[in-house]
Amino acid sequence: MSEALLPSHDLDARVAETVRAIRARTDLLPRVGLTLGSGLGGVVDVLDDAVVFPTAELPHWPRSTVHGHAGRLALGHWQGVPVAALSGRSHRYEGYTLDRVTFAVRVMHALGARTLLFTNAVGAMNPGYAPGDLMLATDHINSIGKRGLFTREELAARRAGRPVAGYYSPRLREELLAAAQHAGVHLHRGVLMGGLGPAYETAAEVRMATNLGADVACMSTVHEVMLASQLGAEAASISCITNRATGLSAGPLAHSEVTEVADRVAGSLRRILEEFLRAGTFRPATDAAATR
């Protein structure tokens, strides 16, 4: 079956079965959903009274095959806020279609989360950014594509008009910037480019992306944010800058470098998220999410 013709009833059935498996162990209604990038999954371990699911044991969930992506979904409380936190997203370059890559977004939304935050490890093309910095996305360039991202019904709804003016919530951006200030962490603002991977961008591709207006590059997130907005959630993305992009760094790039820097910066990101959760305002779960 063509990815572009995915029937919604099949996808809805898969999401519902996964939600039932989760609901068999917890009735917590998350208000915030967190998707954690390479080396940033330790947030799962700070949740209070968490129920943790190995995603390999959840029905229909794609297995995470990338080092630094543990494959755990946790539901618990952080700073008193009920949250769902995913450590171990899936990527298009792992061979999964986009309906599977974004499956976690649909599940967290179905569980009740109406605020969805995404973190990622990125290479910097902006010369003002250095490894160890953090960046809040203001927009993105999608070089992954969107074939198979939406169902036929969602595509029809999009043709009738976009549900939001922009994918990244201005309100969440302001709250995250305020949280970073309170946490004493500098947060750049810039444009995220999502590439297919798994190879890092060439120097020529980096020059092209820079000319298009990109500040950093990753291999995820852009399609997750697009779907989150389509589902009616507010979305935001924080990038951990782990290296300078090809042609801007002194030597070759390696995934071990990505995870090492992400591990080192995880504390700063955690402080921002704690301040955000402590001070933020979050939409409650809908009745439909509560009973699904």
As a whole number, mean pLDDT of residues 166-190 equals: 96
Contact 261, 242 (CB under 8 A): yes
Residue 247 Cα distances to 126, 250, 285, angstroms: 12, 8, 46
Whether 2 has a pLDDT exceeding 60, the answer reads no
Whether 213 has a pLDDT exceeding 90, the answer reads yes
Distance CA 259, CA 243 (A): 10
Model pLDDT, residue 292? 47
Of all residues in the chain, what percent carry a pLDDT higher than 70?
83
Count the Cβ atoms, other than its own, within 10 Å of residue 47: 19
As a whole number, mean pLDDT of residues 108-118 equals: 97
pTM of the model: 0.89
Model pLDDT, residue 283? 73
- The pair phi, psi for residue 34, each rounded to 5°, is -115, 130
Grade residue 252 by pLDDT with cuts at 50, 70 and 90: low
Grade residue 197 by pLDDT with cuts at 50, 70 and 90: confident
Lowest mean pLDDT among 148-152, 205-209, 214-218: 148-152
Grade residue 40 by pLDDT with cuts at 50, 70 and 90: low
Tell me: the pLDDT tens digits for 116-165? 999 998 999 999 999 999 999 999 999 988 766 888 888 777 776 666 67
Model pLDDT, residue 62? 92
Model pLDDT, residue 257? 64
Q: Are strands 115-124 and 134-143 parallel, antiparallel or unpaired?
A: unpaired
Of 247 and 90, the structure prediction assigns the larger pLDDT to 90
User: Domain limits at 283?
Assistant: 3-291
Contact 168, 141 (CB under 8 A): no
Grade residue 249 by pLDDT with cuts at 50, 70 and 90: low
Identity of the amino acid at 178: A
Model pLDDT, residue 42? 74
Total number of domains constituting the chain: 1
Contact 134, 37 (CB under 8 A): no
Tell me: the pLDDT tens digits for 72-83? 999 999 999 999
Burial class (CB in 10 A: 0-12, 13-18, 19+), 262: buried
The pLDDT mean for the chain works out to: 86
* Cα–chain center distance at 131: 20
Give the CATH number of the domain where residue 160 resides.
Answer: 3.40.50.1580
Tell me: the pLDDT tens digits for 49-67? 999 999 999 999 998 776 5
Residue 22 Cα distances to 18, 72, 86, angstroms: 6, 12, 13
As a whole number, mean pLDDT of residues 205-210 equals: 92
Structure tokens at 109: 């939304």
